[in-house]
Amino acid sequence: MIDPFGRAVSYLRVSVTDRCDFRCVYCMAEDMTFLPKREVLSLEELDRLCTAFIEKGVRKLRLTGGEPLVRKNIMSLIRGLSRHIDSGDLEELTITTNGSQLAKLSSELSDCGVRRINVSMDTLDADRFKAITRWGDLGKVMEGIQAAKDAGLAIKINMVALKGVNEHEIIPMMEWCHANGHDLTLIETMPLGEIDGDRTDQYLPLSLVRARMSDAFTMEDIPYKTGGPARYMAVKETGGRIGFITPMTHNFCESCNRVRVTCTGQLYMCLGQDDMADLRAPLRASEGNELLSAAIDEAIGRKPKGHDFIIDRRTKQPAVTRHMSVTGG
């Protein structure tokens, strides 16, 4: 799959549910209205859709949510998709999770060929964790991370940098991650969906964070890549890696190899654009994949050059109205 700008699309992120057992302040309103179940793709439909993309050249597949591991019978989907790892058609099957279910599922994930996971965690302070996630339990997440480590999974911690909330914890988080063998990726808050707060108050440019960290640590750009948009640096003093995802201060569109499918089967060619293609209708219209394949090809043919993210203090409106939990991280 080659887009109009010559970029090969080889990375698919699929949201398997819009539901989550947390209510992070930058992601969701506390009183969320979730999608009716009839609109959400079944596990069988998700398998068929992912398989169609793999047959078209996708080599990395990431399951997201919401929180993917709260989807009922999600392990049956993951176990089914693992056949593409066994055949060599898929290089990597990964998960982005809040960690709440890892204590009970890490061993099974490893058995299904998952070798690497991302855990979203914005603080090491239990009270602040509760304030950010509203419903989360840091102790449970820490137990899950240890279970994942024991199961042999490589762990990357994703931390959204929030001004005045956790910016003073960035260095302690990096030191904790590196001491435990985890990579850390910092993420700028993105203008996706209506939330209860004001993102202009949350936004912390990572260019500023990086400059501050460079005063305290010896940091060197490295070519390390995981298939996503993070730019990585090696930290001499800790021996670990830190990544920066900067959709606001320095976008990464020129090398974008990703598309996203929502749990309702909407294909978004760009996270920061509203243009999408409905894959649910062709998926449900025929038992064969001809209609689905044609819809995917048409959509890739209009993948845009870049996104339109902006944090607008005047209107305070999100650049994109859908929540991140709908599109998937």
Q: Which residues belong to the annotated binding site for S-adenosyl-L-methionine? A: 26, 66, 120, 190
Interior/surface letters 303-319, b for 16+ CB within 10 angstroms, e for the rest: bbeebebebeeeeeebb
How far is residue 67's CA from residue 45's CA, in Å, rounded to a whole number? 19
How far is residue 213's CA from residue 182's CA, in Å, rounded to a whole number? 18
Residues tagged in the binding site annotation: 13, 20, 24, 26-27, 62, 66, 96, 120, 156, 190, 253, 256, 258-260, 270
Residues tagged in the binding site annotation for GTP: 13, 62, 96, 156, 258-260
DSSP 240-265: EEEEEE-TTTS--GGG--EEEE-TTS
- Angle, CA 179 vertex, CA 140 and CA 183 arms, to 5°: 75
How far is residue 218's CA from residue 154's CA, in Å, rounded to a whole number? 24
Residues tagged in the binding site annotation for [4Fe-4S] cluster: 20, 24, 27, 253, 256, 270
Residue entry with tokens 């501050």: 212
How far is residue 117's CA from residue 325's CA, in Å, rounded to a whole number? 18
